[in-house]
Structure 1
Amino acid sequence: MDNLQVKYFEQVKLAIPPYQNLAQSIAEVLSITINEAYKKIRGNSQLNLQQIIKLSDHFGVPFIYKPDQLPTVSFDYLSVDQEIPNMLLYLKDLHKNLKQIQKSSKKHITITTDDIPLFHFFKYPELTCFKLFFWSDSAMNTTTKFDPSSFDEEIITISKQLNEIYLEIPCTEIWAKDTVHGTIEQIRYAFEAGYIDKDLALLIIEQVRYCLTDINMYAISSKKTIDPEHTFNWYNCDVLGSISYLVDYNGSLACYNRFNTFNYLKTEDRNYCEQTKNWMQSLIKKSVSFSGQGEKHRNKFIYNAFAECDNLVKEIR
């Protein structure tokens, strides 16, 4: 229990702003002295059930216990209806999580994906709105045409902020060989089904090209901004099993697994995250590097992606 309690307070410390004193915060929530709060943080004084509930509710950090003989993993799940109006809630939650990572003194995100990581296309309004529209049930259950101007301006603002925050977080991205293909097919389907007209389809394709050009520039310099700490490592792997985001910040690990197109399951279970980290490292060993000196393979990948864009442009025209 003592070890669990100490680890719990380590998670609480990560959840509060750096300037906020942990012991003082605990004392205020539990209505105890700061001295008693320090004892509980060190594990010298045990929390009771009511105190655990109070702390979990206040800080939004669950106290997780599992018997050693049961290899279970607990996940957090953001339940968002797949409707465009509720995309704002999804983006706000994403913004909160990414901002917390950005504030950490040490951080890194590793991604395995068969779709362009969403943070990249958040730079481009029409492309952002198109992806959110396509991910929603609207693209399947309505005859309404896609209209970027119908999206709340706050969605565009938060999306751009997410892109800017992501650029300042060191990352490693491992892409499947057909990562760009999915977005191209979504645009083709939307055009053929009548959800987007010719001009809008061509604009969205153009923004996909801009997005890929950005990523190519990041890879050439192995960084996403002029700051050398904002590193970018890009790999291509033919063998990918899932879309996963592994966040390493201040010595803690968190894993986000994508499902149902855009939703995700989050866990900070140490064993699960360590296994995911080892799996990602093994993928990198099987991958081709696109960053820095990987010019030959990177240029081939970008050329093929641009060729797909050009072919769709010809079809549309």
Structure 2
Amino acid sequence: MKATLQESQSLVLIVDDEPFIRMILRHFLQREGYQIVEAQNGIEALIIFKQLQPDIVLLDAIMPDMDGFECCTELQTLDCGKHTPVLMITGLDDQESVDSAFEVGAIDYVTKPIHWPVLRQRVKRLIQQSQLQQKLEAINLELQRLVTIDGLTEVANRRGFEEYFAQEWQRMKREQSPISLIICDVDFFKLYNDTYGHRIGDRCLQEIAKAIKDIVKRPGDLVARYGGEEFAVILPNTDTLGATYIAENICDAVRKLAIPHRNSQVSPYVTLSAGFTTEIPQQSSDLEEMIAAADLALYQAKAAGRDRFVQNILATQK
């Protein structure tokens, strides 16, 4: 049976220092429908691998300069090589050689002289397994992303916030760099929902989330829906001055949306209150205390009349 369409598009890298072996392998695999690229030694194989990222590597164990075992070890260190199966081809079938092949990362091996039906089935199986593994990992990554995204606003949800904040807190602790946290709350949002209905309320939250994302643009920053009408912004490597600038722009951006709110007690439009704090995490620091400090600053912003931001100076480390 010939290879399927998906298999026929697979690229096989043949690595062998003997031209005759490369030729018969090439002719055999081409008849099976595979695309072929060749390397005559381990060093050349690494260069070609990085450029073309083949679907499988057929690697001769015994070669001058860099043998197959060393080449396989090097392939495992490449990010693009973590999913690529290596099939070792060896004239040695002693226990030590077989063990060495698996120790350096080979998925399977065949011995010389090559048994062609065995090689056909092993190449086919290894490519299929690799493709399936990559699909499963992609699905798992997408599922992981979905469980950390808020379905309504398409920013991170509370779980995504907690995971990312813990990660960046530890990183800033190691680097001794500042991290800022802003917590925002839509002013009089319950009254907004009561006045306009929950469907319009949901649309309001979507517009506000987008406005915040348009302000917070750095790849390392995170916008999250922290609660019902609360949003949080994590700003790694950001000092007090930078956090002040972001908090001010967020509040201003929501004002500029000019979303009518006839029952607001501070403005004819929807507004936002925000509190923030900045810290350089220490060994004795607690990230929960930083969240509490930002939350306290938010409470102070509300108490001061809303539609503003307040910094919790007590928690700030310069």
The two structures have a TM-score, normalised by structure 2, of 0.30
Greater strand content = 2
Higher RCO structure, 1 or 2 (CA under 8 Å, sep 6+): 1
TM-score by length of 1: 0.30
Highest CA radius of gyration, 1 or 2?
A: 2
